[in-house]
Structure 1
Amino acid sequence: MFERFTKEARAVVVGAQQQARELGHETIGTEHTLLSLLAGDNGAIRDALSNRGVDQTSVRQAIIEHVGDHSEATTIADRDAEDAAALKAIGIDLDAVRAAIEENFGAGALRLPRPAPKKRGIFGRFQTGTSHIPFSPRNKKVLELSLREAIRLKHNYIAPEHIMLGLLREGAGLAALILAEKAVDFDAVREQLTRSLNSHAA
């Protein structure tokens, strides 16, 4: 099936994994695929959804509201806030301690050292050191449905629009819930994307 994916559609799949990783999520859900579709260069999808008030920022915020942001930066910030509150409870002002350290040891004394540069793998790609994130069953279904949408439209390739059509057809994942909460008319979006695909195929 993946041999039918266009370069842009493959970028959506890779982008969904990146979106899940950035949010610190353990599976790649339909919501990450939607976020990746909106982050890409696909004007047809952005036009179909932005006309209905849906964009990358609003979808990311909705994902965080539903699932949370488990990224390392958020976890560290939350831990720092908890530590500051605990120290304040026993009479220690963390800001005063930081100021005293910087006064004695110089500005930036508390900054962490810069991380070592990422190493390139044998294929020239950067090694991230992060483990593989699996696709959720619903998201696997979306990718299967994107193939069915391509077959339905008599296309021998799968483009990002087909993935979006598959997402709409699946209709039960978090992406569909977010779109429904934003009062998106699935049929209207489906029709607009089908027209766009057919105009490119003609």
Structure 2
Amino acid sequence: MFERFTTGAREVVTGAHQAARDLGNQHIGTEHVLISMLRDENGTVARLLRERGLDAATARDDVRRLAGGTEPGPSRAETEAEDAAALKAIGIDLDKVRAAIEENFGAGALQLPQALPRKRGFFGRLYASGGHLPLTPRAKKLLELALREAVRLHQNFIGPEHIMLGLLREGEGLAARVLTEHRIKFDDLRTELERSLTDQAA
């Protein structure tokens, strides 16, 4: 499916990854895809949504509010201290376990490597294996629906407009809630997106 994505559609997916990171999320959801599309100031989707009063900054703020905020969790040191206390309560001394591991496997056996190995991800791009964020099931469905929209319109490419049509068709994720809160009429937006795609294909 991804070989049919236009450059713009690929940038939507990679931009969604960045939007998720910016919000401190560990997944890529429909809301991140929406923010990514809105960040493309010259894109058709962003233009149509701006005309309806929604821009990237507003969508990002709405996502934070609707998702319950992005309060930072406990620090790694706090988490490790809590884990050590919980283990001690059941008779396991974490310091002794660490010492035994280092005695058997060498000093630094529990240390992570400085540079994580790089792997190929979406569209052949390299990423550190610890830095790749997974798509939520709803975001995967959105991309599948984008393909269905392209097939329905008899188009052999998938652009950002198809992704937006997929988002409208999915209609239940956090992105759809943001659109609904801004009283964006899905049918009207769908009509304009289809018109834009027809013009592109002509």
Q: State TM-score, norm by structure 2.
A: 0.71
Contact kept, 8 Å, 1:53 with 1:182, in 2: the verdict is yes
Over residues 25-60 of structure 1, what are the superposed CA-to-partner deviations in whole Å (9 max), with x where a residue is unaligned? 111110000000111244311221111111101100
Q: Is the 8 A contact 1:26 1:134 kept in 2?
A: yes
In structure 1, the partner of 2:9 is 9
Q: Distance in 2 between matches of 1:62 and 1:193?
A: 23
Corresponding residue for 1:186? 186
Alignment check: 8 A CA contact 1:27 1:135 kept:
yes
Q: Is the 8 A contact 2:141 2:170 kept in 1?
A: yes
Q: Aligned partners of 1:27 and 1:64: how far apart in 2?
A: 14
Q: What is the alpha-carbon distance in structure 1 between the residues aligned to residue 48 and residue 183 of structure 2?
A: 13
Query: Runs of 5+ in structure 2 lacking a partner?
Result: 76-114
Alignment-derived partner of residue 152 in structure 2: 152
- Is the CA contact 1:23–1:69 (under 8 Å) kept in the aligned structure 2? no
2:60 aligns with: 60
- Please state whether the residue corresponding to 2:62 is helix, strand or coil: helix
Task: Give the unaligned 5+ runs of structure 1.
Answer: 80-117
**Over aligned residue pairs, what C-alpha RMSD do you find?**
2.6
3-state secondary structure, aligned to 2:45: helix
Map of 1:106 onto structure 2: none
The corresponding residue for 1:139 is 139
The percent of aligned pairs where both chains have the same amino acid is 50
- Note closer, same or farther for the CA distance 1:153–1:62 as it changes in structure 2 (3 Å cut): same
Runs of 4+ in 1 over 6 A off after TM superposition: 125-129
Distance in 2 between residues matched to 1:131 and 1:167, nearest whole Å:
25
Residue 187 of structure 1 deviates from its aligned partner by 0.4
> Which residue of structure 1 lines up, in the alignment, with residue 162 of structure 2?
162
What secondary structure is seen at the aligned counterpart in 2 of 1:200?
Answer: helix
Match of 1:30 in 2: 30
Distance 1:166 1:180 in 2: 15
Give the number of equivalent residue pairs: 159
Amino acid at match of 1:28: I
**Are the counterparts in 2 of residues 42 and 160 from structure 1 also a CA contact under 8 Å?**
no
Cα separation, 2, equivalents of 1:126 and 1:170: 30
Q: Output the CA distance in 2 between the equivalents of 1:5 and 1:131.
A: 23
Q: CA deviation at 1:68?
A: 4.7
